[in-house]
Amino acid sequence: MKIATFSTHHYDEQFLNEYNTGHDITFMKVPLNEQTALLTKGFDAVCVFVNDVINKAVLTVLADNGVQLVVLRCAGFNNVDIKAARELGISVVRVPAYSPEAVAEHAMALILTLNRKTHKAYNRIREGNFSLERLMGFNLHNRKAAVIGTGSIGKAFCKILSGFGCNIAAFDIHLDPALQQSGVVYGTLEETLADADIVSLHCPLLESTHHLINADTLKLFKPGAMLINTSRGGLVHTSDVIEGLKSGQLGSLGLDVYEQEANLFFRDFSEDIIQDDLIARLISFPNVLITSHQGFFTKEAMEQIAVISFKNIDAFVANEELVNKVV
């Protein structure tokens, strides 16, 4: 199969080449969007990532060019117009669970760094400053942690929290009996957020979860609580969260995703003026920690993304059941 792979970096090429099962792959650094969709002419499939745009206009071009398959090398598919793909007869497959532990562990890394301020301590020591002033954190043991979404990543995160001795509250439309047996207490969103010291988001971006964290839900937070988002940027209303930080209602914020990340993440702007005023404001807060969508980025996860992507492609070529089919 001839595959156009968009938004690629050297690490994508490394793992996709290593686990290629015999397909003709062309790597493109540019993202897939309405401006680049014409590049798919002559290809049978496209392989895309989280910030590629697969809307109706793009899918129409893909269909006209003979593209039959969209291969998402990620779990989320909120960037795909599912209805349009179905109408155009284009199949869409994804990697539903490449390494839940990778993202869950990164969420914990954000928590520990924000809480114990190890990033600040590191910089201080390098400057010869051995003071402990303003570096005080809190014990995670016996603290309430609210987990919003208990799919594979949320479940892995609950296990990590349990190891720290946290009291775990969870909100999800689907209750997990195994988590309940382990001591996780499910409740309404209001009950789950109430009195939580840490709130961590692990749910997909849907119409029902868009801007789940906003001015109204922030009022339900315990004053000074920590918010962590390693899921999708659109779960958080950024300007409302900035107001929460300014007022002190939100004590600290850890983000691995950002609503407008498609214009920023995975690229180097160190010599440029960042034009996004919201993220510039967030970066200015001393109690905000932002990473560039690296939660998934482990060797094990990259291997699984490549392996499952090619399994999806091979199944399509062989006209077998697409177990990871979105459309």
Kindly list the catalytic residues.
232, 261
Could you give the 3-state DSSP secondary structure of residue 16? helix
Token digits for 44? 């049978």
Alpha carbon 249 to chain centroid, angstroms:
24
CB atoms within 10 A of CB 264: 16
Helices assigned H by DSSP within 164-271: 177-181, 189-193, 215-218, 238-247
Write the secondary structure of 89-149 as one string of H (helix), E (strand) and C (coil): CCEEECCCCCCHHHHHHHHHHHHHHHHHCHHHHHHHHHCCCCCCCCCCCCCCCCCEEEEEC
Number of separate helices (H) and strands (E) present in the chain: 12, 12
Rounded to whole angstroms, the Cα distance separating 311 from 98 reads 13
- Which residues, other chains included, contact 268 with Cβ-Cβ below 8 Å and sequence gap of 6+? none
The strand order across the sheet containing 225-229 reads 185-186, 167-171, 144-148, 198-201, 225-229, 250-255, 288-290
Q: Which of 7, 49, 109, 101 is nearest to 299 (CA)?
A: 101
Q: In 3D, which of 139, 126, 197 has the Cα closest to residue 168?
A: 197
Strands 198-201 and 45-48: unpaired
Amino acid (one-letter) located at 188: T
CA angle 91, 267, 10 (to 5 degrees): 65
